[in-house]
Amino acid sequence: MPLDMQIETFDDAIEYVMDLIGSEFEKSLGLANSILENPSDYTGPQAAITAIKLSTHRYKIGIAAQYWKIKSAQTKTLPDRLVKDCLMSAFTGLEEVINTLKIVARHEHELVGSRK
């Protein structure tokens, strides 16, 4: 952890995690925000593609979360717990987004199949 980084709040932990694992965390948040803003852009094949992308991000976030889970259990410090909680929240939240995208993709696929 950079010496000048003080983690005292959950927002501090989010900022630190963005620096720590960077692109996966940031891309995941960006995709989630894009889905919220433009849900109609994430149907059918695009929903499946986005689910695959988020699954790879979730995998990397999960690895980091496991490391911080072990570290925070050993140190029991607030900054370590906040980072762990931030990563675990992202890991769990991404599962819901991915599952929703899979449902949307499957539903669209079934609709197309029933039209034939």
Q: What is the pLDDT of residue 114?
A: 61
pTM of the entire predicted model: 0.77
For residue 9, give the DSSP letter: S
pLDDT tens for each residue of 31-64: 889 999 999 999 888 999 999 999 998 998 999 9
Q: What is the pLDDT of residue 66?
A: 95
Give the domain ranges of the chain: 10-115
Question: What gap in Å lies between CA 60 and CA 24, rounded to an integer?
Answer: 7
